[in-house]
Amino acid sequence: MPEPTDMLANNRQWAHDVSSRDPDFFNRLARQQTPDCLWIGCSDSRVPATQIVDVPPGEIFVHRNIANQVIHSDLNCQSVIQFAVDVLKIRHILICGHYGCSGIAAAAENERHGLVDHWLRHLTDLFESHQELLDSVADDRSRSQLQSELGVIKQVSNIATTVTVRDAWQRGQELSIHGWVYDVADGLVKDLQVTLGPDSDDKAVISNAIAIAARTARSENQSCP
Ligand code: ZN
């Protein structure tokens, strides 16, 4: 595990390597950022936004929190969305959850974890509202993956109902919301087919995405011995 002094040395080497390959790289970035995407992901150390989709600095505006949640009363996340949409004029909001999320696991279990339980309560409520569906998946891993996916689908819905996004769509601004989930076991990102835009039938898209996620969880469940 690298120490902070090692990280500073790594940074100097990285900056040197980047400049060697592209001498104007930092000059360009220093002038301004023009990202096309806002990434909302989990704080988990295994899910670094730019690295897993292989894009350089300057391409993605990033917000991360425990279990990648978009809560309407969270001034931090709501400000990030508003700044990204209204000021940076990003065209895509990517909400990316991941399998094996400890935040999702903590929200799903009946144990106390301290202050963070307030933050996770939104997910606990979500899982309770899908209790019948989750109970129908006997395999623990498949159920946990379904919970991650339900979390993402819910956040897509939450983003679509923010004042910022509603206003953007109303004035004709190009903007779409995508729900993805990352598998830490193989490094692959899956599109949960819950993309929303100004003209989409949000309820139909969301219920369809939930149905696909449920079908997948149940079929994996059946294939288990
Ligand atoms: Zn996580």
CATH code, 214 = 3.40.1050.10
**In terms of residue numbers, what domain contains 217?**
34-223
**Is position 219 within any domain?**
yes
**Is position 6 within any domain?**
no
Is 215 noted as a catalytic residue in this protein?
A: no
**Is position 153 within any domain?**
yes
- Reported in sequence order, the residue ranges of 43-144 that DSSP labels E, i.e. its strands, are 60-65, 92-98
Radius of gyration of the chain (CA): 19
**Is position 107 within any domain?**
yes
Instruction: State how many domains the chain has.
Output: 1
Compute the distance between CA of residue 138 and CA of residue 217 in angstroms, rounded to an integer. 9
**Is position 152 within any domain?**
yes
**Is position 86 within any domain?**
yes
CA-nearest of 57, 84, 46 to 165 is 84
Query: In tens digits, what is the pLDDT along the chain, a chain of 225 residues?
Result: 899 999 999 999 999 999 999 999 999 999 888 899 999 999 999 999 999 999 989 999 999 999 999 999 999 999 999 999 999 999 999 999 999 999 999 999 989 999 999 999 999 999 999 999 999 999 999 999 999 999 999 999 999 999 999 999 999 999 999 999 999 999 999 999 999 999 999 999 999 999 999 999 998 755 544
- Ligand 1 (ion): which residues have CB within 5 A? 42, 44, 101, 103
- Residues counted in the chain: 225
> Parallel, antiparallel, or unpaired: how do β-strands 176-183 and 37-42 relate?
unpaired
**Which strand (E) or helix (H) includes residue 150?**
helix 140-160
**Is position 27 within any domain?**
no
**Is position 140 within any domain?**
yes
Is 44 noted as a catalytic residue in this protein?
A: yes
Taking each continuous run of H as one helix and of E as one strand, the counts in the chain are 10, 5
The residue from 98, 122, 143, 178 that is catalytic is 98
